[in-house]
Amino acid sequence: FFSMNERLACYCGFPRCRGVVNDVEPT
């Protein structure tokens, strides 16, 4: 599941998943 890996990357602090993180959980 690439989705799981992508989520992990977001937590890691990936600039690519930065937008996704904002969309997933708007802080």
The string of pLDDT tens digits covering residues 1-27 is 456 555 555 555 555 555 554 555 545
SS3 7: helix
pTM comes to: 0.19
Q: Do 10 and 23 meet the contact criterion of CB atoms below 8 Å apart?
A: no
pLDDT for residue 1: 44
Which pLDDT does position 4 carry in this prediction?
A: 59
pLDDT at 5: 59
Question: Which pLDDT belongs to residue 23?
Answer: 53
At residue 25, the pLDDT reads: 54
Q: Report the Cα–Cα distance between both ends of the chain, in Å, rounded.
A: 25
Confidence at residue 12, expressed as pLDDT on a 0 to 100 scale: 54
